[in-house]
Chains A and B, each alone.
Chain A
Amino acid sequence: GAVVSQHPSRVICKSGTSVKIECRSLDFQATTMFWYRQFPKQSLMLMATSNEGSKATYEQGVEKDKFLINHASLTLSTLTVTSAHPEDSSFYICSASWRELAEAFFGQGTRLTVV
């Protein structure tokens, strides 16, 4: 299967600082990338969908000013958690798809802890 690399895998930051998470498709061009959040023993909650070169589409209830998404190229999307607070601590996962109706491939996830 295709490879999606997410970095970092773990990050600890202080409350009030910003954290950037990268998602790269290594062997295909991703027309669409997705960002999810997952709480312990729960399923994936879609935060936003991003298409290369255009603004991300956020799901209802997700603060676009807090979770900044940039999809600058066909192989890279970034999620920046701005002014992080302890309640933002979670497991963040990206996925990438190369076309509609195609399966999406997931990154390894990023465990964010805000202290």
Chain B
Amino acid sequence: EDQVTQSPEALRLQEGESSSLNCSYTVSGLRGLFWYRQDPGKGPEFLFTLYSAGEEKEKERLKATLTKKESFLHITAPKPEDSATYLCAVQAGGFQKLVFGTGTRLLVSP
């Protein structure tokens, strides 16, 4: 069974304090790994798609990387507006559906 595990469950940072979120996965035939951001009471907002080990994507203060077993979401010099839950999901095998991790709740204090 495909599994996605995110750590830490919650992370508290000071503004400007860089850190990384982890997403480890066990799947049969990874087709794509997706990162989303979710604000309370809203639907997830798409951030990145990664397809193969070694691939990296960047957007503003966020950078996503992928290896054969895990993905990292690096947050550089975060701001309070980066506070949200970050979700990782994988698409694997012959299926189009996404399998989600439980998310990392990030809180950035001024």
Q: Are A101 and B31 in contact (CB under 8 A)?
A: yes
Cβ < 8 Å to B, chain A residues 4-42: 4, 6, 32, 34, 41-42
Q: Are B44 and A1 in contact (CB under 8 A)?
A: no
Q: A46-B98, A101-B31, A103-B34 are in contact. Are A93 and B87 (CB under 8 A)?
A: no
Residues of chain A contacted by B41 (CB below 8 angstroms):
91, 109, 111
Interface residues on A, range: 20 to 34
Interface residues on B, range: 20 to 34
Q: A103-B49, A111-B41 are in contact. Are A46 and B97 (CB under 8 A)?
A: yes
In the bound complex, what is the Cα–Cα distance between A33 and B51 (angstroms)? 21
In the bound complex, what is the Cα–Cα distance between A32 and B36 (angstroms)? 19
Q: Are A109 and B46 in contact (CB under 8 A)?
A: no
Whole-angstrom distance between the Cβ of B71 and the nearest chain A Cβ: 14
Q: Are B96 and A6 in contact (CB under 8 A)?
A: no
Q: Which of B45, B100, B102 has the most CB of A within 10 A?
A: B100
Whole-angstrom distance between the Cβ of A41 and the nearest chain B Cβ: 8
User: A67: CB under 8 A from chain B?
Assistant: no
In the complex, per-residue mask of A48-90: 1 if CB is within 8 Å of any chain B CB, else 0: 0100000000000000000000000000000000000000000
Q: A43-B102, A101-B31, A101-B32 are in contact. Are A106 and B97 (CB under 8 A)?
A: no
Could you jot down 15 A-B contacts, CB within 8 Å? Answer: A1-B46, A43-B100, A46-B97, A46-B98, A49-B96, A91-B41, A95-B44, A100-B96, A101-B91, A102-B49, A103-B46, A104-B46, A105-B46, A106-B43, A109-B43
Given contacts A42-B102, A101-B32, 18 further A-B contacts (CB under 8 A): A1-B46, A6-B43, A41-B105, A43-B100, A43-B103, A44-B44, A44-B100, A46-B98, A49-B97, A95-B44, A101-B91, A104-B34, A106-B36, A106-B43, A106-B45, A106-B46, A108-B43, A109-B42
